[in-house]
């Protein structure tokens, strides 16, 4: 059901229309590939957060503080690329496979209902 604002001041009305899936979800293979990509992206974000947290535990020297914002920006970009490379290898650290398996289980139980 789609909700839309009526042209009059009658407020919101429910209108029954068939909802067509987005083109990228029309085939099971395309949907599966998109889910795998999302899982890999999530894993990359997780790895980036790990790297950022680990880097924050390293004591800063006075020389590092003098180099300023440019060095900090390079560290952030470096950590992002390392995280993407670690997660993009297909297996990553294993988190993306765990998430993917959970999504598949959820979809199977949803199909049964």
Residue 28 belongs to a domain: yes
Residue 108 belongs to a domain: yes
Please state the domain count of the chain: 1
Q: Give dist(CA 2, CA 7) in Å, integer.
A: 15
Residue 55 belongs to a domain: yes
What is the per-residue pLDDT across 15-45, written as a single tens digit (0 to 9) for each? 556 655 555 556 778 888 899 999 999 999 9
Do 46 and 82 touch, CB atoms closer than 8 A?
no
For residue 31, what are the contacts with CB-CB under 8 A and spacing of at least 6? 24, 25
Residue 53 is predicted with a pLDDT of: 93
Residue 52 belongs to a domain: yes
Residue 2 belongs to a domain: no
Which helix (H) or strand (E) segment is 13 a member of?
strand 12-15
Q: What is the pTM of this model?
A: 0.65
Give the domain extent around 80. 23-112
What is the per-residue pLDDT across 47-83, written as a single tens digit (0 to 9) for each? 999 999 998 888 877 555 656 778 888 889 999 999 9
């Amino acid at each position: 059901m789609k909700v839309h604002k009526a042209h009059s001041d009658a407020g919101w009305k429910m209108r029954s229309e068939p909802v067509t899936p987005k083109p990228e979800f029309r085939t099971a293979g395309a949907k599966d590939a998109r889910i795998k990509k999302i899982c890999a992206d999530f894993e990359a974000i997780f790895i980036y957060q790990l790297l950022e947290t680990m880097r924050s535990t390293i004591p800063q020297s006075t020389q590092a503080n003098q180099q300023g914002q440019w060095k900090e920006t390079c560290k952030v970009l470096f950590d992002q690329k390392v995280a993407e490379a670690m997660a993009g290898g297909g297996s990553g650290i294993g988190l993306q496979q765990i998430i993917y398996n959970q999504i598949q289980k959820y979809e199977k139980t949803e199909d049964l209902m």
